[in-house]
Amino acid sequence: MSAYYSTVSDTCKINADHITLIANFFKKPFPIDPTRRGLDGIDVGVNYRSDRVTQEFGFWSPDSSSNESKLAILLINIMNNSFKKPNTINYIEQLEQYFPHKLGLKKIADKPLTYKLYGTVSVNDQKQLKDFFRTLIDKKEVYIDMSNFSRMGKMFYPDVKDLMTKNANIYWLNLTPTGLKQLREVGVADKNIITK
């Protein structure tokens, strides 16, 4: 059993495990609050059909404990594991920002050790970012890809500066204009910024 989904000129095959996860999610009633709306966020339309269930509904940016949030996280995880083209991955990472999420961070390579820091780093991400930086202190060489980075609060500047003091072998690459501007404001040395 499989299905095909397409977005941003990228196509992936949704495998049987993915379909089972989604089907199990919809086995129970899916209560939503259709009147809930806010000033900033995203509207989501869902049209789910299987042999046994048909559901059509919409919702606005969900709270972290809601069924809607669980559905969004499930679908984002499936997309992250299925799509491969960089433009599609960037789109999914930006989409993820509209839902309750953790720090936009993922390991993308072991040799050399490379992470991707993406989206907006906000006050809600403070503990996760500090914990991540602590793991980098004893590493010999680390690359941080910022190709899909939006911005971080200036409250994080001392944390970045502290990291660079404790490990001079942190290299920032594929920077967005905002990322480059913010690293320069922090005082990251030119030798640690890799531009093409």
For the whole prediction, is pTM greater than 0.85?
A: no
Per-residue pLDDT at 18: 67
- Name residue 151's beta-bridge partners: 120
List the domains of the chain with CATH numbers: 3-96 (no CATH), 105-194 (3.30.750.24)
> Beta strand pairing status for 149-152 and 10-14?
unpaired
Going by C-alpha positions, the residue among 49, 44, 43, 56 that lies closest to residue 22 is 49
Q: What is the pLDDT of residues 4-59, one digit of tens each?
A: 334 445 555 566 666 677 777 767 666 666 566 666 677 777 777 777 777 777 77
pLDDT at 175: 95
Q: What is the pLDDT of residues 82-139, one digit of tens each?
A: 888 888 888 888 888 887 668 999 999 999 999 999 999 999 899 999 999 999 988 8
